[in-house]
C-alpha cells in the first residue's frame, strides 16, 4: 500500500510537470515509475549504490538523446546545455529529445529518492511530500503558474499526501491539520501569484529573438501557378486553411513580412487579441516540394513539434532559419478564429490597428475606386464583401501576367486599357494585393496571407497533398470578431459564393 501511495504522488507531480511540454504526458508518466527499478537493484547492492546506478543510467541515456543538438561536446556540457535550451524554447516546449531530457532527469531523480526513502522502517513519509513539491514548483515556474490556474492539482496533492501521512504512516509523527492547511494555502497562493508578478526563470537566459532577412515569397506564386500540379507539402488532419506567411506591411512598392522572430510563448503577446469565437486544431504536415524558410501553419500557432521553429507573434507566421528540407515532418497546433456572420456585421475596426491600414502615398485613383466600390456599404464587413466582388469582376487569372504589387502595377491591373500587358489579368499576387490595398483604403485592416486550402487528393485518413497555394484575404474588426478569409482570386465561371463561404 505504501508503494502504491508513493506511485500516486509521483504520477500526479510528473503529469503536472508534463504540462510545460507539448505532448509529453506519456514520457513523464512512465518516468515517474523509474525509481521503482532501484528496488530491484537494492536486493543486490546497498540503497545508495542502487540510486546512483539508476541516475548514471538516466544521465547516460540523456546524453545520447541530446547529443544531436550539441555535437562534438563532452557529456557534462551536453547535459548542462539542455537547461538553457529548455528555458529559451517555445512555451509549451516541443517534445524533442534535447528538451525532454532535463524534465525526465528531474522526475527520475525525484522518483528514485522518494522510492528509496520509504523502504526504511520507521521513517516519516516526508520525502514524497518534498518530491511532489519539487515537481509542482518546477511546473509552476516553467509555465508561470498557468499549469494549475485554480490550484486544483495543489489540492489533489495535499489530499493524497494527507492520506499517506494520516493512514499509512500511523507510527510516525502525525502532521497537525495546521501544517496541511498551510501547505495547501502556500501551493494555491503560488498558483495565483506566478501568472501575474511571479518569478520567471526564463529571464535568466536571453531568448533567441532573431532578425531574419527572408525572401519575399510573392514572386513564387506565378511559378507555382505555372507548375500546376506541383506538390508543396502534405497534410493530415482536419480540413482547415493552411497559411504560409502573412505580409502585413505595405510600402507602396511591395509587401513585407516581419523580420523579428522568437520561440513560441517566449516572445511578446500579439498586438491584437484573439477573437471571441475560436476553435483549437492540430494538423500533421510533411514538406515535399516547398523551399525557403517559411513554415506552413494553421491559425495562431500555439505549439510546434520542431524545436528550431520561431514565430512572429503578431501575424502567427512561422519560420525555420535553417530553411526547409524535403521530408521534414512536424505537428502544428493552433487557434482558428471562427466569428459568425452576425459578429462580423456588428464589428468595427480597432483603433490600435493602424499598422494594418497604413497605405503610404496612396494614389487618388485607388482611393477613389475603393470609395465608389463601398459607397453603399455600411459596415467594414459589407465593405469587405463588396470589394471581394469588385476585384474579381471581369478580371482573369493569368500565370504569365507581369509580376509585382506596386501601386503602378495594381493600377494597370485594375484600370489598364485592353491590350496593355497585365491589364485585367494577373496572378494571385495581383488579385490579393489589389483587394488588400482597396480594403485598407476603405478602412478595413488587411494583410497579405499566402496559404493553401486546395488539395490534389484526400483520403479517408485525412491526408492532403496541396498544390499551388490559394492566397486568402483576411479581414476582421473589433468587438472580438476575429480574422476571416476572403476569396479574391477569380476563377473561370466562378459564381458568387454564398455569404458563409466568402468571409
Mean pLDDT of the region 426-442: 88
Mean pLDDT of the region 88-113: 89
**Is pLDDT above 80 for 466?**
no
Mean pLDDT of the region 190-202: 54
pLDDT at 213: 65
Mean pLDDT of the region 421-437: 89
pLDDT at 268: 65
Query: Which tens digit of pLDDT belongs to each residue from 148-186?
Result: 877 788 888 888 887 777 776 555 444 455 455 555 555
pLDDT at 33: 93
When the pLDDT of each residue in the chain is averaged and rounded to a whole number, the result is 77
pLDDT at 189: 55
Radius of gyration of the chain (CA): 28
CA distance 129 to 138: 14
The neighbouring-strand residues paired with 337 are: 278
Reported as type and span, the H/E element at residue 463 is: strand 463-466
Query: Which tens digit of pLDDT belongs to each residue from 273-301?
Result: 666 777 889 999 999 988 888 899 998 88
Q: Which residue has the higher pLDDT, 209 or 352?
A: 352
Where are any strands of DSSP class E within 96-165?
none
Segment of 17-26, 113-122, 216-225 carrying the highest mean pLDDT: 17-26
Confidence of residue 125 (pLDDT cuts 50, 70, 90): low
Secondary structure (H, E, C), 230-281: CCCEEEECCCCCEEEEEECEECCCCEECCCEEECCCCCCCCCCCCCCCEEEE
Confidence of residue 443 (pLDDT cuts 50, 70, 90): confident
**Is pLDDT above 80 for 53?**
yes
Q: Are 327 and 231 in contact (CB under 8 A)?
A: no
The neighbouring-strand residues paired with 380 are: none
Query: Which tens digit of pLDDT belongs to each residue from 371-395?
Result: 999 988 888 888 888 988 899 888 9
Set of cell numbers at residue 445: 485592416
Amino acid at each position: 500500500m505504501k508503494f502504491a501511495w508513493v506511485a500516486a504522488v509521483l504520477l500526479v507531480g510528473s503529469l503536472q510537470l508534463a504540462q510545460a511540454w507539448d505532448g509529453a504526458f506519456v514520457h513523464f508518466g512512465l518516468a515517474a515509475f523509474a525509481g521503482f527499478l532501484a528496488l530491484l537493484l537494492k536486493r543486490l547492492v546497498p540503497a545508495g549504490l542502487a540510486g546512483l546506478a539508476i541516475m548514471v543510467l538516466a544521465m547516460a541515456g540523456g546524453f545520447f538523446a541530446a547529443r544531436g543538438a550539441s555535437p562534438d561536446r563532452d557529456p557534462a556540457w551536453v547535459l548542462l546545455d539542455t537547461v538553457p535550451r529548455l528555458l529559451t524554447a517555445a512555451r509549451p516546449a516541443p517534445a524533442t529529445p534535447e528538451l525532454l531530457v532535463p524534465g525526465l532527469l528531474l522526475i527520475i531523480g525525484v522518483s528514485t529518492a522518494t522510492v528509496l526513502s520509504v523502504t526504511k522502517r520507521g521513517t516519516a513519509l516526508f520525502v514524497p511530500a518534498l518530491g511532489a513539491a519539487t515537481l509542482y514548483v518546477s511546473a509552476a515556474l516553467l509555465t508561470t503558474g498557468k499549469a494549475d490556474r485554480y490550484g486544483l492539482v495543489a489540492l489533489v496533492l495535499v489530499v493524497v499526501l494527507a492520506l499517506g501521512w494520516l493512514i499509512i504512516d500511523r507510527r510516525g509523527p502525525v502532521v497537525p491539520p495546521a501544517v496541511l492547511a498551510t501547505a495547501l494555502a502556500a501551493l494555491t497562493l503560488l498558483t495565483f501569484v506566478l501568472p501575474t508578478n511571479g518569478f520567471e526563470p526564463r529571464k535568466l537566459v536571453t531568448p533567441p529573438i532573431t532578425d531574419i532577412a527572408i525572401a519575399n515569397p510573392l514572386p513564387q506564386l506565378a511559378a507555382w501557378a505555372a507548375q500546376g500540379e506541383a506538390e508543396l507539402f502534405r497534410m493530415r488532419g482536419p480540413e482547415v486553411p493552411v497559411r504560409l506567411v502573412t505580409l502585413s506591411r505595405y510600402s507602396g512598392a511591395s509587401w513585407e513580412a516581419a523580420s523579428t522572430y522568437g520561440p513560441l510563448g517566449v516572445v511578446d503577446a500579439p498586438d491584437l487579441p484573439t477573437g471571441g469565437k475560436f476553435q483549437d486544431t492540430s494538423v500533421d504536415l510533411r514538406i515535399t516540394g516547398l523551399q525557403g524558410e517559411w513554415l506552413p501553419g494553421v491559425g495562431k500557432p500555439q505549439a510546434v513539434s520542431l524545436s528550431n521553429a520561431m514565430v512572429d507573434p503578431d501575424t502567427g507566421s512561422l519560420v525555420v532559419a535553417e530553411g526547409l528540407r524535403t521530408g521534414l515532418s512536424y505537428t502544428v497546433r493552433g487557434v482558428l478564429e471562427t466569428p459568425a456572420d452576425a459578429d462580423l456585421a456588428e464589428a468595427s475596426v480597432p483603433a490600435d490597428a493602424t499598422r494594418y491600414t497604413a497605405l503610404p502615398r496612396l494614389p487618388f485613383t485607388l482611393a477613389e475606386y475603393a470609395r465608389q466600390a463601398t459607397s453603399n456599404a455600411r459596415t467594414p464587413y459589407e465593405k469587405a464583401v463588396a470589394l471581394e466582388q469588385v476585384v474579381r469582376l471581369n478580371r482573369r487569372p493569368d500565370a504569365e501576367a507581369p509580376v509585382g504589387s506596386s501601386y503602378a502595377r495594381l493600377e494597370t491591373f485594375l484600370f489598364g486599357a485592353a491590350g496593355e500587358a497585365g491589364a485585367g489579368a494577373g496572378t494571385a499576387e495581383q488579385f490579393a494585393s489589389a483587394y488588400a490595398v482597396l480594403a485598407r483604403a476603405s478602412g478595413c485592416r488587411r494583410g497579405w496571407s499566402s496559404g493553401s486550402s486546395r488539395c490534389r487528393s484526400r483520403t479517408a485518413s485525412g491526408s492532403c497533398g496541396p498544390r499551388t497555394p490559394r492566397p486568402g484575404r483576411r479581414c476582421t474588426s473589433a468587438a472580438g470578431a476575429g480574422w476571416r478569409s476572403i476569396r479574391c482570386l477569380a476563377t473561370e465561371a466562378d459564381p458568387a459564393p454564398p455569404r458563409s463561404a466568402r468571409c
